[in-house]
Amino acid sequence: MALLLIVALSVGFFAGLKITQDAMTAVCDDYLSEQNFYDYRLISTAGFTEEDLQALSELSFIGSAEGTHSVDALVSGEDGDEPFKLLALPDEVNLPSLTAGRMPESTEECLADARAFDEEDIGSTIRISDENDAVVLSQFSGKEFTITGLVHSPLYLNTDRGSTGLGNGSLSGFLYLSEENFTAEVYTEICLTLAEKAPAYSEEYDDLISRYEDEVMAECEKQTAQRFRMTEAFTGMTPEIYILTRGENAGYVSFENDTSILSGVADIFPVFFILIAILVCITTMTRMVDEERTQIGVLKAMGYSRAAVTAKYLLYAGSATLIGWAVGFFAGTWGLPRVFWYAYSALYGFAPMSYLFRPSLAFLTLAVALAGILGSTWLSCRRELSGQPAELIRPRSAKEGKRILLERIAPLWKRLSFLQKVTLRNMFRYKKRLLMMLIGISCCTGLIVTAFGVRDSMIHVGSLQYENVQKYDIEASLSDGSQQEAISNLENTEGVSGVARLSDTQKRVDDALSCLNYIIWLIVLFSGALAFIVIFNLTNINLAERSREIATVEVLGFYPEETDSYVLRENLVLSVIADLIGLPLGTLFHRIVMNRIDIESMSFDVRITAVSYVLALICTVLFAVIINLFMRRQIGKIQMTESLKAVE
């Protein structure tokens, strides 16, 4: 069971973390494909006509093209007037996804932002406020609309709805109206999709966008120039045209940045789980082979070859590995992505998580698990199988006691009690188990330190950035040089096209990084489970190897508490020593992980607080204490008469 569990835990954590970013990206890619999210978004200061749209749609590499209208306007609600983005309901590109209610059936109905409204708002009426200026009001043929449904939009993957020059400077949400409600003769923008497809966030997609970008811009400029040459208003000053890609969409970029945190963690943490699993396997199989050396001798004496005897243990370890891999891989690749998607749902709840199977990852984890476990099993068998049958049938001689270094420090050694001396001697008597315990627990401690350190380095980055570095409160976008007016009055100033409050930006950053808490505690949970299995397995082996010794001290009159202390105290001592080794190890792991986390336009204060070190120490020692309490029952089950029988 220890072998099966350690494989399941290691493979599940490795595969689950490695596939989580891919699974989340696949959900996003499927959603964007289903909603036909734009590849190019064209904006012109003079707008676009039907002729412009037709010309762009006829380009050989364009899959679909659609012109649309969008206007920022104040909308009246229970809390007063709030700024919203009002969009024309599309037919082909950037299709909204319905989460509740129904689609509009008349020009007096609309769809509302699912993050700004709830199901109770369906059926209610909203009104374009009379406080809007005349230019804004003139762009609508109606003012009152009934909400028939709630939607998510691919234009807004996260909670950021953008900035505006209205109200407090931040858009509260979006509304979809029928195309007939917009009076403008030209389109505000044109959105295009390519006929050729590539996965989102891939190099192939970036190359695809770069390949046709210049041609799209050239066609736009050509159409605009022709239109203005045919009008009396043409003076030689041509309107400005902007071509935007998904890389300029805030939600699209934020999704990539936020999920890249998982990639940095997934590249480092699982490796240590695999290494510890191999170490535990070596210890477990060495113990098993040692226990069955007499049986091995009998089999060899009966004529069984070394290969046949080895195959027995390889089959035993291989079957445990295969079952553990199957349980761990499918549970990890199904469960971990859903845990992280739930953690991110406050920011990106636009679609449900679906299961993603990667054959290459399945083959890799199975191959590594089998190679590591079967290789360590073969190494464990090799030494015993090289012996002669007559030698193997005899019981192994008791391990010779040796003096330890502390015994040579007479003033210190004399002050120790009998049980303390026994504990120290037993710790160094079984060097292989000592090494496995120190390596396993120190790595677990290091992983916990790393997890807490990642949190320390990232969770307060919003406060550091927007309170210590960027100390201004409001950022205004100016249309044409009205800076002094904007400074004296950052709202209701002519020439200010948008206002962004840094407090809103900080909140979005803090919300994104708050998802780290789920990741950190999940890593702590897995690291704790790993430490639990390591300590439990090695303690179990310890009890099996020393059953005669334990029975002897009980016969000599040791009380149960003294026997427990005699056997289990070394677990606590080794846990503390391993903790002290694991702290600097965790600092090193933390640096490696933070170097792997690369988020555009954001840097981190790479540090680990004293509290995190203390928490890591407490967690690991607590696991050792819990196991000791559990193992006391195992000591009580040791039969003295059976254990003291000599092997003839």
The 10s digit of each residue's pLDDT in 60-114 is 999 999 999 999 999 987 767 889 999 999 999 999 999 999 999 999 999 999 9
d(CA 460, CA 468): 11
Give 253: exposed, middle or buried? Use CB within 10 Å, 0-12, 13-18, 19+.
middle
The amino acid at 109: E
When the pLDDT of each residue in the chain is averaged and rounded to a whole number, the result is 81
Q: Is the pLDDT assigned to residue 337 strictly greater than 80? A: yes
d(CA 586, CA 346): 30
The 10s digit of each residue's pLDDT in 1-20 is 778 888 888 888 888 888 98
Q: Is the pLDDT assigned to residue 24 strictly greater than 70? A: yes
CB atoms under 10 Å from CB of 367, counted, come to 11
The amino acid at 10: S
131-135, 163-167, 265-269, 382-386 — most confident range = 131-135
387/630: higher pLDDT:
630
H/E stretch holding 313 reads helix 306-344
77/29: higher pLDDT:
29
The 10s digit of each residue's pLDDT in 555-572 is 778 787 878 777 778 778
The 10s digit of each residue's pLDDT in 176-190 is 999 999 988 889 899
The token pair at 436 is 């496995």
Q: Is the pLDDT assigned to residue 474 strictly greater than 80? A: no
- Per the CB < 8 A criterion, the answer to whether 189 and 43 are in contact is yes
Mean pLDDT of 275-304: 78
Mean pLDDT of 452-479: 69
H/E stretch holding 81 reads strand 80-88
- Going by their DSSP bridges, the two strands 109-113 and 125-128 should be labelled as unpaired
The 10s digit of each residue's pLDDT in 590-602 is 888 777 766 655 6
In the structure, what pLDDT confidence band is assigned to residue 475 with cuts at 50, 70 and 90? low
Q: Is the pLDDT assigned to residue 217 strictly greater than 80? A: yes
The token pair at 559 is 């009380």
424/471: higher pLDDT:
424
d(CA 222, CA 219): 5
In the structure, what pLDDT confidence band is assigned to residue 323 with cuts at 50, 70 and 90? very high
d(CA 172, CA 351): 21
**What local confidence, expressed as pLDDT, does residue 166 receive?**
81
Of 130-139, 275-284, 327-336, 370-379, give the lowest mean pLDDT range: 275-284
For residue 631, give the nearest of 562, 546, 548, 567 by alpha carbon.
567
Mean pLDDT of 130-152: 90
Give the rounded percent of residues in the chain with a pLDDT score beyond 70: 85
Q: Is the pLDDT assigned to residue 490 strictly greater than 80? A: no
**What local confidence, expressed as pLDDT, does residue 462 receive?**
62
Give the rounded percent of residues in the chain with a pLDDT score beyond 90: 22
